[in-house]
Amino acid sequence: MTQKGSMKPVKKKKTEEPELEPLCCCEYIDRNGEKNHVATCLCDCQDLDEGCDRWITCKSLQPETCERIMDTISDRLRIPWLRGAKKVNISIIPPLVLLPVFLHVASWHFLLGVVVLTSLPVLALWYYYLTHRRKEQTLFFLSLGLFSLGYMYYVFLQEVVPKGRVGPVQLAVLTCGLFLILLALHRAKKNPGYLSNPASGDRSLSSSQLECLSRKGQEKTKGFPGADMSGSLNNRTTKDDPKGSSKMPAGSPTKAKEDWCAKCQLVRPARAWHCRICGICVRRMDHHCVWINSCVGESNHQAFILALLIFLLTSVYGITLTLDTICRDRSVFTALFYCPGVYANYSSALSFTCVWYSVIITAGMAYIFLIQLINISYNVTEREVQQALRQKTGRRLLCGLIVDTGKVLAHL
């Protein structure tokens, strides 16, 4: 009897766990911790109803209401998947939809092309400063870059190759360049040199660990990992090693305050910095690049430079092949600004529009590549340059391309 009585509460415990039931493909756990269904994505949204009412009545909408609406949309935008619906990052969608539409509209007429191709960089810069001011991660630029590569290659195969001016060897070289870009980007997306707390003993952090570190700090320590790691791309002398190893909170109070990261709860090595977007410290942090949605630091700086170089070479080669096909018997530079009859055929007009779009993107990447080469030659990082300009300790040279931070000799 006692055994049977003792088994009854065990049966009750098993029946009191309905939350452990597996989710179907269309169910998910929302941000409030409640089970929801994809079919109810438009139900029970008071903020959206209020926003629509104020928009219909021509009343202003509060910024807080807009943020709540965007948070609700991003939480409910999901696709059915095994063991629960998966969330889709809303910032991925605009490039996939708007880029083909804008390029096709721009190919209708020359004036439309000028307006669209001028407005695209302006919109991209506006969105960049919007997200940069809010210190938020976004997949918009990574999605735009990858989709632009794929769509330009698709237009090249559909509109340029069938004209017979591009040989198999040229197509193979362009395809290899595209794959090399993807490989270099994959390498650049890896760990840029995240600093972990020595108490954890983990040097390579997963995405889940990074999220935890961005929310809370770990235990305080008096040292830092990788004291023998170099702090730059170039070879550093041993003068930096004692400087890095002497970074103890008990030393100079001013220096300890600069090197101590209260968010990550660790002492930063030389030239490391805390990224407010990624929420973690990075060794020899150069900058946070929105095109790869990651920081550029000690471990991935070379891959980042390599990706830029391969992209520039492949893009220029693709532009040359396209202009040689649609504007025959003209030099590349002349055909770029003067190509008679290019808008008479929709196929050639679309190809010409994609060429100019590629030129704009290539010019922007070339500027980033040039700045990176200048910074490497002066052995400074982009963060150090911007910090010197904010503190008014640096001066611009050569039309602003070179910034003398006044601390170059300290790193040589």
List the beta bridge partners of residue 28.
Answer: 36
Q: Are 365 and 358 in contact (CB under 8 A)?
A: no
The amino acid occupying position 172 is A
CB atoms near residue 57 (< 10 Å): 7
- Joined together, the tokens standing for residue 389 give 């300009």
d(CA 279, CA 367): 27
Q: Long-range contacts of range 383-386, CB-CB < 8 Å, 24 or more positions apart? A: 383/273, 383/285, 383/286, 383/287, 384/271, 386/287
Q: Are 335 and 320 in contact (CB under 8 A)?
A: no
CB atoms near residue 217 (< 10 Å): 14
Pairing, β 273-275 against β 266-267? unpaired
The amino acid occupying position 349 is A
Q: What is the DSSP string of 17-74?
A: -GGGSPP-TTEEE-TTS-EEEGGGTTSS-HHHHHHHHHHHTT----HHHHHHHHHHHH
Q: What is the Cα 122 distance to its own chain's centre?
A: 18
Q: Which of 275, 278, 289, 295 is catalytic?
A: 289
Three-class SS state of 278: coil
What are the backbone angles phi and psi of residue 275, rounded to the nearest 5°?
A: -85, 120
List the beta bridge partners of residue 29.
Answer: 35
**What residues contact 14, with CB distance under 8 A and at least 6 apart?**
none
Catalytic residue flag (residue 289): yes
- Enumerate the active-site residues: 289
